[in-house]
Structure 1
């Protein structure tokens, strides 16, 4: 339900109206909590990213009316992982997990706008164009100052949940953010394959950076990790030369590409915090961690943050919202999954960034071992779909 005037008090304020915040808002309404989601934008702007949504994440969104056929998501039935210049490869299949798909690829812009539209017309409360500028926290409640279309407004609450970005972290002295620059950019492009992709996604570790191909409609979305200098050079290539360079790195893994459009790039960094909870505040999604796009776990991790927090708060009486014991319970439940996924994603970049020949052969043997060991392959696929449980 879209509101134009903020109430003076609610029990819970969610800051950030992306899919993570929207999922939590829907879940909190279903559990009977007095919650309000505030989003600084009035609508989702143009965003070229396509994201891989794990099957478990898709089911969570669907259960909260945030997933629909109109999103035109493309199923991923198989993921082909390989290393250029070696025999190392492994293939993850949905059939091995008895699932209809490992996940789906959806345009972020479509998913985020659909989520806002659902909240606007549903019972959960939503305030758009309302930017939190200041957080003041006291023993029993927090007070937020917001810039809104009708001017500055204040609202008090028992619990503040930061679900999008980390711009307010400098107002939380007990929470410290660490930023690790990878000194890399992600090159994004849409590639039209010469043959149907059949729902197969690719992760290719080339000598000059990993490449991912995500089936998106009839096309592929390319995410290619490069140095800033290489990324700038790739953007200036002719379409034919760009396609030739991508095809060279995939060798005979794909049949080739007929066209390329929509090239862009953005810098990559790992952002983590020393604690996801503080005095009357919880961090989830990109506020808690921002990951490298390799393995496509960033949004999925955030959605699991939202579902776990919703479960904790559903069992928390209103008078105990924001209390240290409840927040500590959430932090403990999320520590294993968030910690493991963050470390594995970071180490993948470190491991495959080295050009050492012995290490390259060791990586190849590791991929071959996974391909030959069904239990190892299934375990890895389960982590990608469900997280660390």
Structure 2
């Protein structure tokens, strides 16, 4: 139920972002010629349309492959969440997400909010709104992260407490019935009092041992539940952050009519989607969602950018990415998305795994995940040359 609610919210957010960008990107009475000369250069609608179709399916397939890779742990022991390879894959993907925020999205936000097409007398060049938006995104993610985790933990604790009380009542009733039956049988023969006392002592010893074992099992189970709840919150918040910039990327690509601009984006965004999918897929696997919830989240992630491309194609005739309103809206959304992804990569993905006792106790694994993180961040940074 919680996953369905979050997915619905994510769908509504994606639709709102797409609608907002589509509306804002229309000519809005600003400098009508700003950026139009550059946009007109190199236009080829027919060739661009073919590249957009290729981008649609390429990004869709790569996103599915990346998001589905961590799920293979159920069939491939090396990719299980408690395995070394899984830590390496997740560190690589976290590096990709970190570079996405710092190298791809945040610079775009600064470019949008300091563009020459913005009115000269406006406030956008007087204050670093892009950095402010990133800070708000990171702080907002922290607040949502902690509040959601606390809420779900308290709700789960109440359920566990109620279940424990009910279980205790059942055990007490069963023990009373058993004791009554035991008195009836033993009291019927000779020497019943001595035998009854011996049985009573033995029963208490066994009962104490059972309580000790059950307490240990309960403690382990409680830790496992808290960890699962934490990963569920992380995966859902991460998907929200990815959705915002994925819609922007898709619409921008779909609205472009320049084949020379689209061509490098097809390859770059395909790899981008696959690497991000690996990070999200790892979180989804650790969250231990039901199959239906996993399929829903994976499908939504895979479809967000392709649907954005389709929306961009639909509005390409009226889309003006250089209009002041479009620049401001896209810049703010990009800055907030950058803050969300930077926070998620550093706090919820890298810090959590780097401080994991399994990693801390094994030097080679610790070195491996550091190298994997650097590789992911480095490769994603290189893609900034083309995307």
Shorter-chain TM-score tier:
under 0.3
Which structure has more relative contact order (CA 8 Å, sep 6+)? It is: 2
| TM-score, structure 2 normalization | 0.27
Q: Which has the higher strand share?
A: 1
| TM-score, structure 1 normalization | 0.27
Highest CA radius of gyration, 1 or 2? Answer: 2
